[in-house]
Amino acid sequence: MKFCLNQKWIAPWKKMSPAGYVGMAILLLGTSCHEASKTSGQKSLPAVNVRVFDVSPGESLHLSRVSGVVEGERDARINSRVQGRVETVRVRTGQMVHKGDLLMKLSGRAAYDRLEASRARYENAHGRFQRMDALYQKKEASRQEWDAAKAEDLMSLADYSAARNEVSLTSITAPFSGRVALKNVRVGDVVSPGLLLAEVLREGDLRVSANIPEYLANEISPGMKLSFRVRKNGVETDLPAKVRSISPRSDPATHTVFVKASLGRVPGLRPGSYGALLLPSGKETSPLVPRSAVIDRDGLREVFVVRNGVAGLRFVRIGHLKKSSASGAPLVEVLSGLNSGEKVVVSHDGELFNQTPVHVLGED
């Protein structure tokens, strides 16, 4: 059999260089591979059966974050009440102490001098009063002389008691059992009245203190339940807090109000830690989806959104859990990434990847 080819078809090929032949072959091979890949890809993605949830809007409280610091429910800042030099320090930071334990000793030389002088004055005054009293009983002294001796005796006793109290202040003891949170002086330091020496914390219940904006203070009241958000083991955790006190006045410089909230016992949380009080600041509307529809992956949250028979992967940012849906599944608010009316996958009978064809069996 003889084949006849039109010379118009052959002419361009005769003029083509060897490099042109190679390029044309690569082009034809790539096109055929691409078509084969398309055909193969379509065959490797069968439709997955899924059930979906119609994203619905929900009203929720908008929460503002205000920084707060964790404190011991009972702590003691021990300040010096006398002038003197630190003679001994018997504790270190972090050490457990019991009520009455000696923490440090101050020299208080001036206080000891006053004690000796006041004791001498008291002993003399008291001796004179005793002699005057004996004379008065024998009617050998007047009432006026007895009154003067009695007044001098009482005044010298008051001075002596004050001097003894001042000397006792040179021995710094623990006011209750707890842990030394701060040791602010060393042996040899000179201290004056009002200087912070140490701080002792009682282990147990904790509280959070915060200065909150005036407009947020109007939204809370004593006894109200809030959340306190802290990072524990690298994860943000919301702890229950209860408003204990609200200052009756605002700071005119910062326009804030001082608030305290009780945390109770929280294992692993230390006084001095920082976190954020979550305070209600109005209502907002945000989409709600079942918590089971949200995928946690490497710290990111994702959902599959069904559109035109295909499930697409989408990143979202979620908020707080809300009341359960009609099916009993807890709902979570979506702060960004979804709109009301979209459909998200809540269950499926096969593996889902981005852009996987799906067959919707129904809605939950």
Report yes or no: 81 and 192 within 8 Å, Cβ to Cβ: no
* Residue 79: predicted pLDDT: 92
- Give the end of a domain, one of 253, 283, 313: 283
Cβ within 8 Å of residue 56, ≥6 positions away: 287, 288, 340
Confidence band (pLDDT; 50, 70, 90) for 325? low
- Kindly state whether residues 147 and 255 are assigned to the same domain: no
Q: Is residue 53 part of a domain?
A: yes
Is residue 32 predicted with pLDDT exceeding 50?
Answer: no
Q: Is residue 184 part of a domain?
A: yes
pLDDT digits (tens, 9 = 90+) for 309-323: 999 999 988 877 666
- Kindly state whether residues 102 and 182 are assigned to the same domain: yes
Q: Is residue 11 part of a domain?
A: no
Q: How many domains does the chain have?
A: 4
Query: Bridge-partner residues for 199, per DSSP?
Result: 77, 182
C-alpha 274/C-alpha 71 separation (Å) is 10
Is residue 189 predicted with pLDDT exceeding 70?
Answer: yes
Confidence band (pLDDT; 50, 70, 90) for 305? very high
Of 97 and 267, more confident = 97
Q: Is residue 269 part of a domain?
A: yes
| CATH for 263 | 2.40.30.170
Pairing of strands 274-290, 178-183: unpaired
Q: Is residue 17 part of a domain?
A: no
Pairing of strands 310-324, 256-264: unpaired
Other beta carbons less than 10 A from residue 126's beta carbon: 17
Confidence band (pLDDT; 50, 70, 90) for 5? very low
Cβ within 8 Å of residue 336, ≥6 positions away: 316, 317
C-alpha 240/C-alpha 278 separation (Å) is 10
3-state secondary structure of 186: coil
Q: Is residue 25 part of a domain?
A: no
Over the chain, what is the mean pLDDT?
82
CA dihedral angle for residue 167, residue 168, residue 174, residue 176, rounded to 10 degrees: -150
Q: Is residue 327 part of a domain?
A: yes
Tokens of 210: 């915060």
Other beta carbons less than 10 A from residue 43's beta carbon: 8
Q: For 282, left (φ over 0), alpha (ψ -120 to 50), or beta?
A: left
- Kindly state whether residues 175 and 216 are assigned to the same domain: no
- Kindly state whether residues 162 and 213 are assigned to the same domain: no
- Kindly state whether residues 242 and 256 are assigned to the same domain: yes
Domain that holds residue 272: 64-73+205-283
3-state secondary structure labels for all residues of 67-90? EEEEEECCEEEEECCCCEEEEEEC
Is residue 2 predicted with pLDDT exceeding 70?
Answer: no
Percent of the chain whose pLDDT exceeds 90 = 24
* Residue 17: predicted pLDDT: 58
Other beta carbons less than 10 A from residue 293's beta carbon: 24
Of 283 and 201, more confident = 201
Q: Is residue 160 part of a domain?
A: yes
Cβ within 8 Å of residue 97, ≥6 positions away: 91, 103, 174, 177, 178, 179, 180, 200
pLDDT digits (tens, 9 = 90+) for 40-66: 444 456 888 999 998 888 776 677 889
